[in-house]
Chains A and B, each alone.
Chain A
Amino acid sequence: MQVIGHVAVSVFRESVRDRVLYSLVGFAALLMGASYLIGQLTAGQDVKIIKDLGLAAIATFGLLMAVFIGIGLVWKEVERRSIYSLLSKPIRRHQFILGKYAGLALTLLVNVTLMTAAFYLVLAYMNTQFPENVRAIWPAPATDPGMLRAVALTFVELLLVTALALFFSTFSSPFLSAALTVGLWVIGHFNADLRNFEAVVESRTAASLARGLYYVLPNFAAFDIKTQVVYALPVPLSYLVTTTAYGAAYIALLLTGAIVIFGRRDFK
C-alpha cells in the first residue's frame, strides 16, 4: 500500500510540475467572464446559465485531464525507458498500475474540488446581484449544496474515464488510447438508444446484440444528473449509491484488466 502511495504522490507532483493546475485559472476566468457577459446577452436566467456552464465546465476540464494524462501514464514510462529502472526496484507491476491510477485520481480530486469552490464563489457573488423577490422564484438557491451531488457523480465518471484511458494505455499507442477512450465516452451517452434498438430494427439478432452492448459498455449517461440538481428535482439516495457502485465495479474491472495486460508485457 505504501508503494502505491509513493507512486501516486509522484504522479501528482509530476502533474503539478506539468502545470496541469493552470487549468483552474482557465476555469475561474471562464466562469467570471461568463457571469459578467451572460447578464448582457440574455433576458434573465443568469444564475441558471452559470450553473449549467459551471457544471459542464467541471466535467469538460476533468474529462480532458482524465483522457490526456491517463493515456500517457504508462506510455510515458515505456517511451522514456524509465520503466526498466522502475521495475528493477521493489515495485510490483500491479502496484505500479494502481499507484499511477491513484495519482491521477488525486490530481482530479484536487482539480474538481478547487473548480467546485470557484464555482460556488461565483454563484455566491451572483446571489448578491439579485433582489429577494427575484431569488424567491428560482427553483433552487444560487449556492444550493444539492449541486454537490452532480459534482460527486461527475467525479466518479472521471474516475471511470481515467480507468478506461489507463487500461488502453497498457497495450496501445497514446493516439489510439485517446480515440478509444473518447469513442467509448461518446457511445456511453447513447446507451438508451442501444437499449431500445429493437424498436427500430426487425432483426432479433441485431436487437439482442445491441441489448448485450447496452449491458457491457460503460453507461456514462447514468452519471449525468445536472438537470435534476439545477432544477432541484429529487435524486433518490439509492440512485446515487447504485450509480457510484456501478462506477466502482467498472473501474475495478478495468484496473484488473490493465494489471493483467501490463503484467504479461515483456519489457526485455
Chain B
Amino acid sequence: MSARLVVLFIALGAAVVGLQAAHERAGGPLTRPTEALLYVRSPAMMTRMALSYDMLLADIYWIRAVQHYGGIRLSADPDKRFDLLYPLLDLTTSLDTRFGAAYLFGAIFLSEAPPGGPGRPDLAIALLEKGLRAQPAKWDYAQWIGFVHYWWRADYVQAAEWFARAGELPNAPFWLKPLAATTLAQGGSRASSRALWQEIARTADEGWYRTSAQHRLRQLDAMDQIDELRLAVDTYRQRRGSPPADWADLARAGFLRGRPTDPAGVPYRLAGGAVSLDPTSPLNPLPKEPVRRR
C-alpha cells in the first residue's frame, strides 16, 4: 500500500470521526416522535414466524421488556406509561412457555403501583396463570399469585386460597400452608405482611427477589416510624396548641434526638403537621392497605 493511500485512509477516517463529532455537537439526529413500537403483537403469529428461533426471540423480547420497564421507570417523564410491558411479556412467555423469570419478574413489574410501574395486578395474575397452565406444578407461580392478591389487591381471601393451593403442589415450602391460615385470619395486618416478606427474603433463590422483599420490609419499617413520628407530632400539638414548624422544634421539645431519616437514609418530611416520606425517597409509594388493620 502506497504512502499516499495510507494518508488518504487516515484523512478520510479523521473526516468521518470529525463530522460525527460535529453532528453530535449540533444536537444529533433530528427529533422525531419517540412512541414505542411493537410491530407484531400476536403471540400466535410470532410463534409461527419464529421458525426454530423461538427461544432466542423470547430472550430478545425479554430483554426488551426489562429495558422498557427500567427505561420508563428511571425516566424524568412525569407521565410514565408502560403500555408495551404486558404485550412484551406475553410474547416472551408465548415463545418460551417455561421462561420462569419472565413470569415472576414480569408479575412484579406489572403489579408495581405508579409511578414505579403500571399498577396492573390483574395483568400480573393473568401472566402467572398463563405460567401455571404451561407448568401446573410450579408452586412459586401460585405463591406469587397469592402475593399479588395480598399486597396489591388486598384480597386476603383470594390470597389465602392461592397460598393454600401453592402449598399443595410438589416441593412447596412447609410455611405456605400456615401462611394461608394466617392470611385468612389476619390478612392486611402489618405483622402478617412483615412475616410474608421476611419469609421471601429468607428463602428467595434469586438476588432480585430478595432485594424486592428487603425493599418491602424497609417500607414496612418506614410505616412504623411514620406512625411513631405522627404520635410525637400529635403530642407536641396537644401540649403547645400548634404543630411543630420543623423537626428542630420536636428535637428541642425532647421528642427527637435529631432529624429523622427513613430506612433508605432520606429525611422524613414534616409540613403543616403532616409526616410523610420525602418525595425523593426510593421507598415511595408506600403501600396503603396494610395500615388498615394493625
Contacts and interface: CB of A to CB of B under 8 A. Distances in A.
A227 B66 contact: no
A43 B55 contact: no
Interface in B195-240: 205-208
A36 interface: no
Interface stretch (A24-32, A44-52, A208-216): A44-52
A43 B53 contact: no
Interface residues of A, number: 29
Contact of A45 (B51, B53, B59, B67): B59
A221 B205 contact: no
Interface in A174-203: 186, 189-190, 193
Contacts of A134: 205-207
A115 to B, nearest CB: 15
Contacts of B58: 52
A16 B208 CA distance: 47
B55 to A, nearest CB: 4
| Chain A, interface SS category | helix
Given A42-B66, A186-B51, A189-B51, A52 B205 contact: no
Interface residues of B, number: 21
B208 A56 contact: no
A224 B48 CA distance: 14
A44 B98 CA distance: 15
Contact of B59 (A49, A133, A190, A227): A49
A41 B55 contact: no
A226 B52 contact: yes
Contacts of B54: 227
A52 B55 CA distance: 6
A45 B62 contact: yes
A43 B52 contact: no
A230 B206 CA distance: 19
A237 interface: no
| Chain B, interface SS category | helix
A137 interface: yes
Given A52-B59, A227-B98, A44 B206 contact: yes
Given A133-B205, A137-B206, A227-B96, A45 B52 contact: no
Nearest to A60: B53
Nearest to B54: A227
Interface string B161-182: 0000000000000000000000
B55 A56 contact: yes
A61 to B, nearest CB: 13
B105 interface: yes
Interface in A40-78: 41-45, 48-49, 52-53, 55-56, 59
B56 interface: yes
A133 B207 CA distance: 10
Nearest to A224: B52
B248 interface: no
Contacts of A239: none
Contact of A43 (B59, B98, B208): B208
Given A45-B62, A53-B59, 15 more contacts: A38-B63, A43-B208, A44-B105, A44-B206, A44-B208, A52-B58, A55-B55, A56-B52, A56-B56, A133-B205, A134-B206, A137-B205, A189-B51, A221-B52, A227-B54
16 contacts: A41-B66, A42-B62, A43-B101, A44-B105, A44-B206, A44-B207, A49-B62, A49-B63, A52-B56, A55-B55, A56-B56, A134-B206, A189-B51, A193-B48, A223-B52, A227-B96
